Amino acid sequence: MSVAKSTEGPQGAVAIKLDLMSPPESAKKLENKDSTFLDESPSESPGSKKTKGITGFQALVHLVKGNMGTGILGLPLAVKNAGILMGPLSLLVMGFVACHCMHLLVKCAQRFCKRLNKPFMDYGDTVMHGLEANPSAWLRNHAHWGRHIVSFFLIVTQLGFCCVYIVFLADNLKQVVEAVNSTTNNCHSNETVILTPTMDSRLYMLSFLPFLVLLVLIRNLRILTIFSMLANISMLVSLVIITQYISQEIPDPSRLPLVASWKTYPLFFGTAIFSFESIGVVLPLENKMKDARHFPAILSLGLSIITALYIGIGALGYLRFGDDIKASISLNLPNCLLAILIPRLDLVLALVGSVSSSALALIIPPLLEVTTFYSEGMSPLTIFKDALISILGFVGFVVGTYQALEELLKSEDSLPFSNSTTFIQ
């Protein structure tokens, strides 16, 4: 507020002029200030263009990287748990449903940004505001628990992903180092296996720590695009090598069951939903884009690419190795050194996927759509669709978790030595 004095007339009357800033302008400046604090590139309103931020291609790179990881190597065994026909079809349906739930999450976040005039809305805040808009007084009074629940599942999911990645990477590096130092290079199938004590895998994990600490200090998505692109290229080269090998001698597929036992299907569900792991990065990517209006198309394109890769690797791996498929398809590749990776990697993936990924990717987004748009009027078909997806996700959560835990307990007594490497002589 500025005050100006002026003298008018011969009487010397003093007029005081007040220059008040209008409330909208003040709110706009405050909004821009908060937005700049949250992100170096301001996001003034959903769907608006920003002067800074990531491009559509950069968002696509991050989205693909956010999905493609260790889970894809366990998909051939997941297809075995579902059947050569049921597995690929289930992956296709699961990819479509996961993509649909991500779109629901983005739509609800954008709606609350418009309602509350906020530039940014993360997963937890979106769920909290969704519960606040619910007709139930009890849910409104406990809306903050929605944010806490989402934060808990996000932490569990990301911890599970990181633990699997670090252990998997350490054991594979251990395998490569010891294969180079080994003098054995004969890989015929009729040779004996000798367990040789080697360096503890935890030392390899510890060696990654300085690099991981430096990497997590980078919070700018535009800079991280370089690392995501390098990771995608490395993963693509690896998948091309694997595909080239497994597609050479595919036996008669008629020997494989079209539909596997229902008892193993929950393990397929857990591993598959673990693989569609990008639900936690969807809103951050949408919020950091220069033009968020293009994000729905980028999301659909990215999930289409991922689903096609998952179906191809999962089906080809099972067709090539059949019942001999391992927890990770990398264990089926020819190598004189068969390193012991994560004990029952398939069960670890299934457990993490069933516990937290199913809640974040399948259960919460449909319920969030109901709480967000119910007061505005929703068709019974939409409510039925959302309820069906959430119920199926909850069933997968319960049955998948139980089955994975049961199998882990059964295999606990039969785990091999953790610090030994099998040399073939």
Taking the alpha carbons of 277, 280, 284, 290 in that order, is the dihedral positive or negative?
Answer: positive
pLDDT (mean) for 279-307:
89
81 contact partners, CB below 8 Å, separation of at least 6: 87, 260, 264, 265, 267, 268, 271
pLDDT score, position 1: 44
Selected residue with higher pLDDT from 19 and 81 = 81
Selected residue with higher pLDDT from 408 and 223 = 223
Selected residue with higher pLDDT from 78 and 161 = 78
pLDDT score, position 100: 94
| Portion of the chain with pLDDT greater than 70, in percent | 76
Q: Do the beta carbons of residue 365 and residue 105 sit within 8 Å?
A: yes
Q: How far is CA 226 from CA 62, 177, 311, in A?
A: 10, 27, 27
Distance of alpha carbon 192 from alpha carbon 188, whole angstroms: 10
Tabulate helix, strand, coil % of the chain (nearest 5). Answer: 70, 5, 25
pLDDT score, position 383: 92
Beta bridge partners of 16: 5
- Letter for the amino acid at 43? S
pLDDT (mean) for 11-25:
40
Distance of alpha carbon 131 from alpha carbon 137, whole angstroms: 10
Band (pLDDT 50/70/90 cuts) for residue 8 is very low
Most confident of 25-34, 99-108, 219-228: 99-108
The lowest-confidence range among 197-211, 349-363, 372-386, 403-417 is 403-417
Taking the alpha carbons of 199, 202, 204, 206 in that order, is the dihedral positive or negative?
Answer: negative
pLDDT over 50 at 169, yes or no: yes
Write the pLDDT tens digit of every residue in 333-345.
765 444 444 445 6
CA angle 22/109/90 to nearest 5° reads 170
pLDDT score, position 346: 64
| Full-model pTM | 0.72
Write the pLDDT tens digit of every residue in 410-422.
765 554 444 444 4
> Average per-residue pLDDT in the chain?
76
54-411+418-424 belongs to CATH 1.10.1370.30: no
CA 297 from chain centre, in angstroms, equals 18
pLDDT score, position 305: 92
Selected residue with higher pLDDT from 31 and 249 = 249
**Helix, coil or strand: residue 272:** helix
User: What are the tokens at 237?
Assistant: 């080269």
Band (pLDDT 50/70/90 cuts) for residue 226 is confident
pLDDT score, position 382: 92
pLDDT over 60 at 185, yes or no: no
| Portion of the chain with pLDDT greater than 90, in percent | 20
| Count, residues in the chain | 425
pLDDT score, position 335: 56
Distance of alpha carbon 299 from alpha carbon 285, whole angstroms: 10
Write the pLDDT tens digit of every residue in 88-141.
999 999 999 999 999 999 999 989 988 888 888 889 999 999 998 888 888 888
Selected residue with higher pLDDT from 13 and 56 = 56
CA angle 399/414/343 to nearest 5° reads 65
User: What are the tokens at 224?
Assistant: 């991280």
pLDDT score, position 22: 40
Beta bridge partners of 49: 291
Distance of alpha carbon 131 from alpha carbon 135, whole angstroms: 9
Instruction: Supply the DSSP string of 333-401, one letter for each residue.
Output: S--SEEE--STTHHHHHHHHIIIIIHIIIIIHHHHHHHHHHGGG---HHHHHHHHHHHHHHHHHHHHHH
pLDDT score, position 179: 67
Q: How far is CA 419 from CA 340, 341, 342, in A?
A: 8, 10, 12
Write the pLDDT tens digit of every residue in 357-372.
888 888 999 999 998 8
Band (pLDDT 50/70/90 cuts) for residue 405 is confident
pLDDT over 60 at 183, yes or no: no
